Amino acid sequence: MALNKTTPYAAVDLECKKLSKKITGFICNKMDFMHLWLAFKERGVKRDEEVLIFWRKKHYKKLYKIFSAFLSRLWIMICPKGAFELLVDPSYKPELTVEAKWNVMKPIIDWKPEVME
């Protein structure tokens, strides 16, 4: 529960392929916080898994685009370890076929807002 309308629900440390250092993101949307809670607290993340978080603000279904400023922006996935490297580094594990890469990258479980495409 946020303390008031200007206080974030949480803060998360993130890695981004375009930035060389970790950044802190503030979670201000209730649904985004609930999805993160489900991933980290309810389901949990095993040692051989990693969490990928995509922050999106343009991929809403047509009907919802006018409300996008108020909508959830995070697509959260729990994937096998190594998925992040496969996504950001095309030279990582070049010996794998496309199908094998997909099997490493595909989410075990994900939380994607219904309003997103």
* Domain boundary assignment for the chain: 10-111
pLDDT, residue 73, reads: 77
pLDDT, residue 112, reads: 82
Helix (H) or strand (E) holding 75: strand 74-80
pLDDT, residue 60, reads: 56
Residue 116: C-alpha distances to residues 23, 36, 63 (Å): 24, 17, 10
Task: Please tell me the pTM assigned to this model.
Answer: 0.76
pLDDT, residue 21, reads: 86
DSSP 5: T
Can you list the residues of the chain whose pLDDT is less than 70? 1-3, 56-71, 115-117
pLDDT, residue 61, reads: 58
pLDDT, residue 72, reads: 75
